Every structure is written in C-alpha cells, then in structure tokens.
Amino acid sequence: MSIPDSVLAAIIAGTATLSASFVQLRSALLREAAAGRSSAASRRRNRLQMIILFAVIGAAGVCGFALSQWLTSGERAAQAVMQRELQARVSEISRTASALELTRGSERAEIENGVLRRLGNEGVVVMASVPACRGSPPVLAAAAATTTVPAAATPTGATASAPAAPDAAAPGARPCTETEASPVALCASIPANASVTEVALFSRAADSNAPWSSSRYLPGQESGEARFAATYSESTPDGATRQVCQGFEHWSSDHARIVRMVVRYSLPV
C-alpha cells in the first residue's frame, strides 16, 4: 500500500524536528560535561532546558500527528464522497438495466401477442393429400367344362371339334365401401389460452383447379364419397399450445382428394 504524499511530508517534518532536538540536547550535555561542575543556578537552567526540550519534542509529535490527520481527513472525505457517488451510479445503472429488461420483455410479449392475434384472424391452415381407395379384387371361381368324345364313337369322315374356351377377361378391383375408408386427422396448433371462433373445411379432387371457396364442406357433410367428421376435437394444452383436430374419411376409388382446414381463433384481451 503506497503512503500518501501528505503523510510522507508530515513524517519527514517530524523526523527533522526530533533530530534537531536530539542534536541540541547532545550539545548541551557535552557543554555541561566540559564545564566539570555547575552551580545550582546552572543545574536549574539545564533542567529547565531539558523540560522545554521534551515539551518541544512532545508538541512536535502531537502537531505532526494532528497535521497528518488534518491533511488526510480531506482525502478521506474526498474518497468517501467518490465512493458514495460510485455506489449511486452503480445503483442507477442497475435500475436502468432492470427497467430496460422489463421494457424489452413487455415489448417482445406485445409483439408476439400481436403476431398471434393476426394469425388467429387470418387462420391457421392445414392441408393433406388423401389417395384414392383401393378395394381388394373379388375372388373368381371359373370351371372349364370339357367333353371327351371317344374315338370309337366318332363317325367315319367326321371331325371332333374342341369345346369352346370360357371368357378369360377378369373384372377389375371392386369399389371401396365407407367402412373400408381410412380416416385422416387434420390438426392445427393454436395458443393454449385461445378460443376457437371458426373451423372452415374444404375438399376437392386432386386434379381439380376449382377455387377453395367453391369446395367448402360443412361438418358431417358427405359429398363425392368423402365426409368430414361432425365435430372437431381439442387436445389438452401442452405448454403454451394445444391442438384442434378434424377427422376426414374418403372411400372413392376413382380419384385422390386434397383436404384443407382453416382454424381461426381469438385471444383474451
């Protein structure tokens, strides 16, 4: 730890004063010893000088200590003021950082909430392609009837004709029934605290270019060997989201279909 300049100056001044006093004391003692003897008045004078010398030494020490304390008190006060100002600035910076963090968090939450509201108004779109149903081919049992004509029974000059072959053309696969349709579930993720306002359902043939507005279905409506479920289902919230699912069945063996679901929702204010 370095010594302040003011304290160092006080120490040097005190050391010089004490050194000068000790030099004077030594000179006085040497003069008295050289005199050989002294009178009573001389002894009293020397004793008085000794008292004054020690008083001067004590006063110098006290004054040096007081001077050092006085010089360092200003520095201590300045250091205390700087320390208080530094602590005040640190506290102000901490409060500002906390306020900025809260502001940033609230702005981020407000932006996210605005995006979710806009998405809820526009609707969450889910699409799927459903292939044509393929029924199993029917089991065919064809027995070919054959007639054997003995050679002995064939008249002379007559020719035995072979029996007519049955028709070999096999019919194609049979159409699917509604019970053979494979169900498909369309699921859309929405915020956990959202309220569903509309579930719009659409379906059209895969090779059709008809607009979606003209291909809308009602829940439970059957059209073109396809049907949406009568109601949709909602899953239990998982974290910040939950799912809205709608079932669909398609048993047409003629063509594939494309299904579309739009889920609109609203958020609490």
Q: The tokens of 89 are what?
A: 């600035």
CATH of 123-134+174-266, one of 3.30.70, 1.10.1760, 2.60.40, 1.10.3470: 2.60.40
> How is the chain split among helix, strand and coil, in percent rounded to 5?
45, 20, 35
Tens place of pLDDT per residue across the chain (269 aa) = 566 666 667 677 767 777 777 777 777 666 766 665 556 666 676 677 778 777 877 777 787 777 777 777 777 888 888 889 998 888 888 888 888 887 777 777 788 888 888 999 999 999 999 998 876 555 443 333 333 333 333 333 333 333 344 343 334 556 788 888 878 999 999 999 999 999 999 999 988 888 998 999 999 988 878 899 999 999 988 888 999 999 999 888 888 999 999 999 999 87
Q: 186 phi and psi, to 5 degrees?
A: -100, 125
Residue spans per domain, the chain: 5-94, 123-134+174-266
- Taking the whole predicted model, whether its pTM rises above 0.85 is answered as no
Which residues, 6 or more positions from 182, have their beta carbon under 8 angstroms from its beta carbon? 133, 249, 250
- Give CA–CA dist 36/44, Å, rounded: 16
User: Where do we find the tokens 């001067």?
Assistant: 56
Q: What letter represents residue 157's amino acid?
A: G
